[in-house]
């Protein structure tokens, strides 16, 4: 026999979508993602808004700056609005946010430390504040496994972001660092002084993926990366790097990395550097 209780039976008039069971609304909202929900769905009716407010799982992954997201309403959204949305999303996550992606200023970073202590994945677009503070924050997010930072300009960093970030997050599995000229099409390729990677990095036992864009990498630096990351499976280098200077030993070490991409460029003549 049927396991259910009293029958409602029969067909009724047009269905009441506002009365859709909340687990279905949640399922739909999870597919829409935070910005769609905030800009549209959650304000449709009270029961739907209730789901947005009361289901922290909805805010477990908050990505506010996806490059391929082309919702017109979102594209017209001013930066200040996006920042507010980030705050609200983190509040609603009730500490359960595990992954964040978006534009971040230092104040937002502090918010992440307080509101998202269990963050595993952090992807920061256009970071332009003080590198030192970024490192401090990363150090406090002890569960981080996956970090991606796009530096939007010559930030006031402590010379070596790669080394500092490795030091702060020893358990990372994936690290992607991109300096401005790698993605900023409006700027001259060689306008910036590249971050030089020439010395040892801390041992990163769990790191399986490392991608570096627009650094100034020496053979010594590459050697140190390969020595420091015994589990490395994917290595992408899109930097100033002179392949011609690689010796046999370094080539052998490189060959052990399963997915290796060495997209290198020549250093420009000295007059470009200041």
Partner 1 sequence: MEVDKGKGEAEETRKVAEADRDTVTLKSSDGKLFEVSKEAAARLSTVLAGMIAGGSIDDNGTDLKQIGSEALENVVDYCNKHANSIPSAALISSSISFNTAPFKEPEEWERKFVDRLSHDALFDLVEAANFLGMERLLDVTCHKISEMMKGKSPDQIREVFNIKNDYTKEELEEIRQELAWAFYDD
Give yes or no for residue 28 binding partner 1 (CB under 8 A).
yes
Site size with partner 1, rule: CB under 8 A: 57
Backbone angles phi, psi at 147, to 5 degrees: -125, 135
CA distance 187 to 151: 14
* Nearest distance in Å: CB 7, partner 1: 4
Pick between residue 18 and residue 265 the one whose CB is nearest to partner 1: 18
Q: With binding defined as CB under 8 A, does residue 8 bind partner 1? A: yes
Residue 107 in the binding site for partner 1 (CB under 8 A): no
Q: C-alpha angle 207/209/214, rounded to 5°?
A: 115
48: Cβ contacts below 8 Å, ≥ 6 apart = 18, 25, 41, 42
User: Which of 4, 244, 248, 271 forms a contact with partner 1 (CB under 8 A)?
Assistant: 4
Q: Per CB under 8 A, does 44 bind partner 1?
A: yes
Using rule CB under 8 A, residue 176 touches partner 1? no
Stretch that binds partner 1, among 31-39, 112-120, 173-181, 200-208 (CB under 8 A): 31-39
Nearer to partner 1, 85 or 180 (CB): 85
User: 206 to 225, contacts with partner 1 by CB under 8 A?
Assistant: none
* Residues within window 112-131 making contact with partner 1, judged by CB under 8 A: 123
Rg (CA), the chain: 23
Instruction: Work out which of 10, 159, 270, 274 binds partner 1, going by CB under 8 A.
Output: 10
Q: Applying CB under 8 A, which part among 32-40, 130-138, 208-216, 221-229 lies near partner 1? A: 32-40
Q: Which of residues 61-100 bind partner 1 (CB under 8 A)?
A: 61-63, 66, 69, 71-73, 76-78, 80-81, 84-85, 88, 99
Residue 56 in contact with partner 1, rule: CB under 8 A: no
Closest to partner 1 by CB, 86 or 135: 86
Give residues in contact with partner 1 (CB under 8 A). 1-4, 6-11, 14-18, 20-21, 23-24, 27-36, 38-41, 43-46, 49, 61-63, 66, 69, 71-73, 76-78, 80-81, 84-85, 88, 99, 101, 123
């Amino acid at each position: 026999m049927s396991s259910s209780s009293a029958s409602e039976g029969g067909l009724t008039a047009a269905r009441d979508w506002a009365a859709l069971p909340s687990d279905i609304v949640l399922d739909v909202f999870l597919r829409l993602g935070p910005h769609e929900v905030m800009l549209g769905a959650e304000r449709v009716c009270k029961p739907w808004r209730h789901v947005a407010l009361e289901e922290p799982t909805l805010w477990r992954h908050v990505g506010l700056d996806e490059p391929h997201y082309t919702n017109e309403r979102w594209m017209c959204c001013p930066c200040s609005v996006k920042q507010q949305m980030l705050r609200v999303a983190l509040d609603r996550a009730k500490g359960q946010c595990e992954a964040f992606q978006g534009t971040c200023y230092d104040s937002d970073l502090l918010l992440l430390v307080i509101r998202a202590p269990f963050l595993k994945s952090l992807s920061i677009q256009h970071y332009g504040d003080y590198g030192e503070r970024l490192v401090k924050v990363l150090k406090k997010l002890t569960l981080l496994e996956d970090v991606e930072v796009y530096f939007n300009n010559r930030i006031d960093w402590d010379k070596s972001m790669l080394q500092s970030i490795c030091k702060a997050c020893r358990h990372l599995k994936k690290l992607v660092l991109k300096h401005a000229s790698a993605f900023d099409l409006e700027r001259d390729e060689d306008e910036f002084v590249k971050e030089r990677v020439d010395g040892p990095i801390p041992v990163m036992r769990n790191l399986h993926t490392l991608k570096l864009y627009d650094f100034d990498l020496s053979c010594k630096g590459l050697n140190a990366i390969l020595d420091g990351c015994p589990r490395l499976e994917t290595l992408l280098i899109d930097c100033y790097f002179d392949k011609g200077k690689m010796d046999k030993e370094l080539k052998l070490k490189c060959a052990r990395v399963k997915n290796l991409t060495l997209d290198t460029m020549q250093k420009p003549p000295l007059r470009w550097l200041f």
